[in-house]
Amino acid sequence: MSDNIDTSQDKSSPESSGLNKSGPEKATKSPLTIAISQNTKILALFAIACTLAVSLVSALTKDRVKAQEQQQLLRTLHSIIEPSRYDNDIANDCIMMSAPELGSNKVKTAYIARKAGEIVAVAITSTAPQGYNGNIDFIMAINNDGSVSGVRVLKHQETPGLGDKIEIRKSDWITNFTGKQILSEDDRRWAVRKDNGMFDQFTGATITPRAVVKGVKSTLNYFNQHRGSIIPRPNACGEHLSATELKATISSTTTPNNGAANEQ
């Protein structure tokens, strides 16, 4: 090893003094270049081996991860819409939407619960942007009559012990929304008690519940106003469905009156 370094220093010092003399060096490979190329090969070999191992594990666990995510989604959906109220494959029956009223400019998903083909409720993922510590992602189900079927917080960074009572695991505060209706667009009851509303705040945390109430209200308003234009959108979930949908969109580009009608 030390030999290598010595010769490399010998080689590199005239090289640096004599500017670019790479021409003759190419012909007779210096020990340095040999070492470098060898090390590069070994490193590349390990990189390939590691990538192979990771991709193997990834391929093996892929289905299971997907199933877990689906199960988690179903569990959440069940908690906000009674499973007995619908009979379709709700996790694979969804539409995409994006609106500033939903808290962020990301594309949001809405899952549709149907019973015998009739829509009974829609579960919308949304964001409350004014949390104490950033965005609060939640999912809320809205019944046909415009009342709330249930709300659950999906992701948040609120203070543990104070703001995290919006989680169902920590407190049942979030179930306060169940059955509530919004009477007009700026219904004054839709606020925390401190602001003369009908929802409790937590001791030591007002900002978090205020943000959630505001987010839920805004989402509810958005849905009630745009219901007519949202519901007829084509299904965007499920593997077999998305495949047929792809075909449908392709065919709809050629024959516009065909595909969209089939999807509903």
* Mode of pairing for the β-strands spanning 148-155 and 108-115: unpaired
Give the binding range for other proteins (CB under 8 A) out of 34-42, 129-137, 238-246, 248-256: 34-42
CB 121 within 8 A of CB 142: yes
CB 234 within 8 A of CB 245: yes
Q: Which structure tokens are listed for 143?
A: 């019944």
- Choose between 155 and 226: whose C-beta lies nearer to other proteins: 155
- Choose between 72 and 225: whose C-beta lies nearer to other proteins: 72
Q: Which structure tokens are listed for 201?
A: 């705040």
CA distance 206 to 251: 52
Of 154, 147, 150, which Cα lies nearest the Cα of 127?
154
The residue written with tokens 């908690």 in the block is 79
Determine which residue in the list 50, 107, 183, 243 makes contact with other proteins, applying CB under 8 A: 50
Taking CB under 8 A as the rule, does residue 57 contact other proteins?
A: yes
Determine which residue in the list 83, 161, 179, 232 makes contact with other proteins, applying CB under 8 A: 161
CA distance 246 to 236: 10
Taking CB under 8 A as the rule, does residue 3 contact other proteins?
A: no
Give the binding range for other proteins (CB under 8 A) out of 48-56, 129-137, 218-226, 239-247: 48-56
CA distance 16 to 187: 77
Taking CB under 8 A as the rule, does residue 203 contact other proteins?
A: yes
C-beta of 1: minimal distance to other proteins in Å? 6
Give the binding range for other proteins (CB under 8 A) out of 12-20, 44-52, 180-188, 241-249: 44-52
Taking CB under 8 A as the rule, does residue 70 contact other proteins?
A: no
Contacting residues toward other proteins, per CB under 8 A:
1, 35, 38-39, 42-43, 46-47, 50-51, 53-54, 57-58, 61, 64-65, 68-69, 71-72, 159-162, 169, 203
